[in-house]
A and B are shown apart, each in its own frame.
Chain A
């Protein structure tokens, strides 16, 4: 049962159980018993505190500062605990980037998240794939190691975590030895009872062994190729676990940064937990990487319905297993009941209880953050906020989507300009056979009032910082490019034009322009003066694009184009015709947002003339008997005028629908 411990204590006062040398340890007498709870965090991704560095706002649903409360609860509940982290710890948010890239950590400094983990008295950790993202030099430094690998010249050991980090399946090419210690046997002093129920202290030898996905070799090839090699997870387990047993490990905890996969095993298998559980000698598994919650009786995930997997009790081939979701949202708990046989400890398997405990309460609120966590990294946290607010360029015009549906490109044109330049450069450097094809770019207004009149992109004139770039490019996309023909281009634009209702020019009553069932993020448009077309909203969906031309010449159905877009669209998002991954010629590792930031850094100053005025489309002129209306925020008509839209007027400051919108009219005859 979960404790209702009130959690009023800070981490500095957490009851901790310290590892002591074996010489000081009394041997466990036969018949003694003890409870030992194995606790897991995983995929913290540098979310030390629950904070969104791009929104510059607290995010209470994540953060190790809340998991710290769950750890305190577990330590109060169980007489003995060991706390391990599964990996993907040091990368994943602006704080991580700040400490690795913007103002790299000095040798004498401890990484923010490790400072907190030290204070929380972690007993050990493994290494995830994302630990390698900043390169081996950085990893060697912040883990307090001295990697003997090519390209890393570290004259001395730097500050690192105070707990052991284990990894059994990554080797240095230079030395042919494991990059980290493959396993560690932690001698844990525990409170126990002897056969007569009297309180005693004893030592439990807890062996931990770590594994990371061998696929790091392709994911971080630029850092790892020629410097390290990997072995399969199962091979590493078969090699080292017998050694651990021989050295006296009472229990073996496998900390595997991976999930479950029952496809045929290979030495490159990313999620090898299903096979790892079948290696003799594994007493408990702590999983991660796939960002799932296990045990989870309600899960429909196919990986949790595999043979040998008990998703309710948290067993994989009988091995108690936990995966604590991600970002500190959960704490994994495997409560083991141990009994001494005179030589060591054995697990009473039928008494094992596995749980993944949530930082969210039943009433949907979240446990309070432990303020001691933020206190430990306040300087790093505030420096990161300063970094996110640092200007990367400036704009002399307000960039908004209030009138994007009727032709204002002020928040879209810069995205298209950045994407076009990126793809043009890529094609010139890497795809010379396509060098003569025109490169277009599509983007959409991501925010158009779905959540209310405040829910539009609105970046003021002035300096542009990283958080503004997040406003301009809302979604976590990667830049992709597709090769399509003229018919495909027209079909793409027709699908976008479904954003509008069909307007009957003879109807005297007001007609709504926008079809609310087609979200604005599916209203893709180019913003280049080179391509031009009309949208005839008097025609039914699918027959609205007219006069599509490139540099004034009608586009032929077989004419080829390269179009810069994003992974969502290129992979089939929005179900645009022909876009299902089969047209992709570039799947960039760079995010669309980073492409935009790099472009703004390069251009430095955005002006209305260069980045806010060009339009590729207009509505086909038609005189309507009644008004054509749409809804946007009140009092922003001047923005339409500044964008050169002289056919928009505000009919009512309150459209009467109770959501704060004004009613505007669009004169299609102009």
Chain B
């Protein structure tokens, strides 16, 4: 192959391959020689898909046909094809990918002779930036859903999710679900006696215990300083009572250590309500009934579970 633009062909900062319509290699530029460590003279007239057997031959063949028929470019999308030729990245630091992420353009080179040309662009840096952006976004979304201290859900997210669950249950023959409100007993006293930092530890501990006692399909959120709400899916009052009691006993039996090795115990009061027709499709009403039950528990000695009727 004679090229007038030999200099451009060998100095341009992307790969250029010229092929016939069967994908036999007719030219291979310096960029490729350097990145693949294969010299042009060693690869001429070989079939691209034989040298690199991981290439999807059917797809590439079709694209070659497309450019020769439409006489316009075709592309290999980066979203769905990470690369055409597997070239390891040179980075030692700061890398997410092992292989160069490539943007590929396929063009007609000579319509009469049915030759095509493939341009390979290194898009790795852009992809890395995008990936990092995706990660940060995911973290941000997660943060906006969660309570910072305990990492359980926050009130706003709970409202969204519980609404979805309510709709789902209505569409599925009204499968029962319950709300459990939970409040740490005499929390103000704990804060006053042991300090706010310790108070925080107590809240975290209680949150963990609640989480450990519920299923994947249930959700727990922190509603206020020392108040939590749990939504138990597919659960009636009897089942909810069992779960609530397990939580209550577990917390009762847990001790939280102070720095001076003194052990502190705390207890919680709980109120339960099942979503019913009388709530008129409004979860706020269910929550209200659960709160009333919680209030009753507080007024009757604390460290107990009361079920709303």
A and B interact = no
Residues of B with Cβ closer than 8 Å to A? none
